[in-house]
Amino acid sequence: MHSRTLDYADQVLQATSGRGVDVVLNSLGDEHIPKSLSALARGGRFVEIGKVGIWSAARMAQTRPDVAYHPFDLADVLGAKPRGYAELLERLAPGFSSGRLRPIATKTYPLADGVAAFQALASGKTIGKIAVEMPSAEQRQARARVRGDRSYVISGGLGALGLKTAAWLAQQGAGAVVLLGRSEPGAAAAAELEALRAAGTRVHVLRVDASDGAVLEKALDGLGGQVPPVGGIVHAAGVLSDGLAAGTDWDHAWLVLAPKVAGGWNLHRWSAKQPQLGWFASYASIASVLGSAGQTSYAAANAFLEALAHERQRLGLPAVSVHWGAWAGGGMASGQSRVMRDRMRRIGMKELSPSLGLEALGAVLAAGVPQAVVASVSWPAYAQAAPAEAATFLSAVAGNAGGGGQVAGNLRSALLAAGPAERAALLLGFTRRHLAAVVGSDTPDELSADTSFAALGVDSLLGLDLRTVLERSLEITLPSSLILDHPTLGALVSYLESRLPGAPGGQEAKA
């Protein structure tokens, strides 16, 4: 019998010679309730576990006064007993073990066939329950394993991280690696490729831009039987080009977005033709998780990779987005200016050794998670040095690291209580110290009032850092053009002093 029509009630009466059953356990609404009542014997019990369209006790008493009506919610019944569910299962388990109780008919689908499971459910032809089974730890580890009868595709394969990943795959026993790059390998890259070949790994280099879908597909399909079936994909292509959002046009934004967004999407689509694919790893950045001043487009590109990984897993496809911190001896962070590298160290971002990073990659692949952050960070230092960024992600840490709010309150109180001369000296000393921290100088006293920000290498990004610290400490709102409008330390201090309450012509603006 089934509940897709109302015939079950007549079938029950027929099976019981017109008597009906003693108990109805109901979860169906609307016309099913009176129909089920018609199959309930006189003096029977109607146990209601439904939530929508159920009858009131008064209506049941009016319709069938002989019936004991029991609507209830299992969660309410067991709410006062934390172990209630466990105790029920412990009582039921022996019955299933002995065969006295039989579980409801269940058809199980692996996660990869999740779409088929929903299609079966929608067909209205299933009996019992449909279950979607998650892969076991052993299955996940087997899927993440690097195999000698598989090849592995790496976009951005001629970059520092791509080559390190290729070497790691070779050490793990990869049958072949296919490296995608937009240009010919340089001398250093060529030497690393020869080392891989000398160690016995088949290496194929394809000069192709992953953001061009048609070219990418033609190049990869053209390998034909030259390499074993593809067992894994690493999407490591990327471009870093800093700039504030206000000064970014679409062409500049797409320069950063294209390698990760278009490249990731193209590899995602091509991977649908790879039946032996065990994993798909996108190399994203911690910038999209924590935020990073001046890297709006870069953060957005990496956020796309994060979303793509979640969508692939939703579809039952392998995927993980690895949000890396800075790598030592390579990676995009090493190509930045000295000032920017100093800034990373100042905010607690340490460099990750390649061996540790690749060891973490293996663990992430085996875990089967859609997203992971792998970075070496001093969180208290980060929360103290980058409060604006930390506030969006690490509010609990920021609230307990260094007591920034108390420091800000004390400084503001001291400035307001001081006389004009003392106030200027306090403000100059405070601003000088933070300017020195921003530019990585160990000798703040050498920064005179005439010091030019341009001469110190303070660009718009570092200026944003300084402005954030000043806003938080002085509890005022400052314009985005602060450094451009006041290009020396002395000019900046004079302007800040004019913004404090009580200053001649001052216009206090609370943050």
Q: Are residues 178 and 256 in the same domain?
A: yes
Q: Which amino acid is located at 262 in the chain?
A: A
Q: pLDDT at residue 141 above 80?
A: no
Looking at the chain, the whole-number percentage of residues with pLDDT higher than 70 is 82
Q: Which of 151-160, 222-231, 292-301 has the lowest mean pLDDT?
A: 292-301
**pLDDT at residue 395 is higher than 60:** no
Examine the domain organization and report whether 231 and 371 are in the same domain: yes
* Confidence check: pLDDT of 502 > 70: no
Q: Is it the case that residue 199 has pLDDT exceeding 60?
A: yes
More confident residue, 107 or 436: 107
Distance (Å, whole) CA 87 – CA 265: 49
In whole numbers, what is the pLDDT of the chain averaged over residues?
Answer: 82
With cut-offs at 50, 70 and 90, classify the pLDDT of residue 400.
very low
CB 176 within 8 A of CB 152: yes
Distance CA 223, CA 438 (A): 50
Mean pLDDT in residue range 215-238: 91
Residue 185 lies inside a defined structural domain of this protein = yes
On whether residue 475 sits in a domain, the answer given is yes
Q: Long-range contacts made by residues 35-40, C-beta under 8 angstroms, separation at least 24? A: 35/6, 35/8, 35/9, 36/9, 37/63, 37/64, 37/67, 38/9, 38/13, 39/8, 39/9, 39/10, 39/12, 39/13, 40/64, 40/67
Domain end marker among 391, 426, 447: 391
Find the mean pLDDT for residues 339-344: 65
Give the count of domains, the chain.
3
Give the containing element (helix H, strand E) for 364. helix 354-367
257 and 384, same domain (yes or no): yes
Same domain, 369 and 276: yes
- Per-residue pLDDT, averaged over 137-164, amounts to 85
- Tell me, yes or no, whether 113 lies in a domain: no
**Residue 511 pLDDT grade (very low, low, confident, very high; cuts 50, 70, 90):** very low
* Three-class SS of 50-72: CCCCCCCHHHHHHHCCCCEEEEC
Compute the distance between CA of residue 17 and CA of residue 322 in angstroms, rounded to an integer.
65
pTM: 0.53
β-sheet bridge partners, residue 26: 48
In angstroms, what CA-CA distances link 146 with 150, 152, 230? 8, 9, 11
1 in a structural domain: no
Could you tell me whether strands 320-324 and 279-285 are parallel, antiparallel, or unpaired per DSSP bridges? parallel
What's the pLDDT at 472? Answer: 77
Q: Where are the beta strands (DSSP E) in 339-421?
A: 349-350, 371-374, 376-377
Taking residues 7-14, report their average pLDDT.
Answer: 95
Is residue 273 located within the same domain as residue 375? Answer: yes
More confident residue, 377 or 373: 373
Do 426 and 352 sit in the same domain of this protein?
no
Q: Give residue-wise pLDDT tens across range 76-103.
A: 777 767 677 888 889 999 999 999 999 8
pLDDT of the residue at 405: 41
What spatial distance separates the first Cα and last Cα of the chain, rounded to whole Å? 68
The verdict on residue 397 lying in a domain is no
From residue 143, give the alpha-carbon distance in Å to each of 278, 314, 503: 5, 17, 67
Least confident window among 49-53, 65-69, 134-138, 336-340:
336-340
Q: What percent of the chain has pLDDT over 90?
A: 31
Lowest mean pLDDT among 71-75, 384-388, 411-415, 428-432: 384-388
| Sequence-separated (6 or more) residues with CB below 8 Å from residue 496 | 427, 431, 470, 474
Please tell me the least confidently modeled range out of 126-130, 218-222, 374-378.
Answer: 374-378
Assess whether 220 and 344 both reside in one domain: yes
Strand arrangement of the beta sheet that strand 40-48 belongs to: 21-26, 40-48, 68-71
Tell me, yes or no, whether 97 and 234 share the same domain.
no
Is the residue at 246 inside a domain? yes
pLDDT at position 464: 76
Element (H, E) at 407: helix 404-417
Q: Does residue 248 surpass a pLDDT of 70?
A: no
Question: Domain range holding 435?
Answer: 404-499
From 143-157, 242-256, 390-404, 419-433, the region with the lowest mean pLDDT? 390-404
Q: How would residue 391 be classed by pLDDT, with cut points 50, 70 and 90?
A: low
Q: Using an 8 Å Cβ cutoff, are 372 and 323 in contact?
A: yes
Distances (CA, A) of 309 to 156, 237, 259, 275, 299: 18, 16, 16, 18, 16
Give exposure, 353-378, as e/b (b: 16+ Cβ within 10 Å).
ebeebbebbeebbbebebbbbbbbbe
pLDDT at 98: 94
Chain Cα centroid distance, residue 9? 51
Task: Report yes or no on 461 lying in a domain.
Answer: yes
For Cα atoms 338, 342, 343, give the angle at the middle one, nearest 5 degrees: 120
3-state helix, strand, coil in the chain (%, to 5): 50, 15, 35
Q: What is the DSSP track for 137-180?
A: HHHHHHHH---TT-EEEEETTTSHHHHHHHHHHHHTT-SEEEEE
Q: Average pLDDT in the 294-313 region?
A: 86
CATH code of the domain in which 450 resides: 1.10.1200.10
More confident: 475 or 372: 372
**Rounded Cα distance, 401 and 381, in Å:** 8
* Angstrom distance (rounded) from CA 388 to CA 294: 13
Q: How do strand 349-350 and strand 376-377 relate by DSSP bridges?
A: antiparallel
Q: Say whether both 434 and 292 belong to one domain.
A: no
Q: What are phi and psi of 360, to 5 degrees?
A: -65, -35
**pLDDT score recorded for residue 399:** 42
**pLDDT confidence of residue 482:** 85
Q: Give how far the C-alpha of residue 176 lies from the chain's centroid of Cα atoms, to the nearest Å.
A: 30
pLDDT higher at 409 or 267: 267
**DSSP symbol at 334:** G
pLDDT tens digits along 439-464: 766 677 778 888 888 877 776 667 77
Any domain includes 133: no
Per-residue pLDDT band for 249 (boundaries 50, 70, 90) equals low
Specify which residues 410 forms β-bridges with.
none
Residues 6+ apart with CB under 8 A from 483: 453, 458, 460, 463, 466, 467, 492
Name the most confidently modeled range: 181-185, 243-247, 329-333. 181-185
Average confidence (pLDDT) over 315-341 = 73
Q: Which two structure tokens, joined as six digits, stand for 305?
A: 């990779």
CATH code of 15's domain:
3.40.50.720
Looking at 365, 391, 417, the residue that finishes a domain is 391
Q: Please state, in angstroms and rounded to a whole number, the distance separating the CA atoms of residues 31 and 174.
A: 62
Q: Is the pLDDT of residue 59 over 90?
A: yes
Report pLDDT for 460: 67
Residue 356 and residue 423 in one domain: no
pLDDT for the residue 498 = 86
Could you give the CA distance from residue 262 to residue 211 in angstroms, rounded to a whole number?
Answer: 5
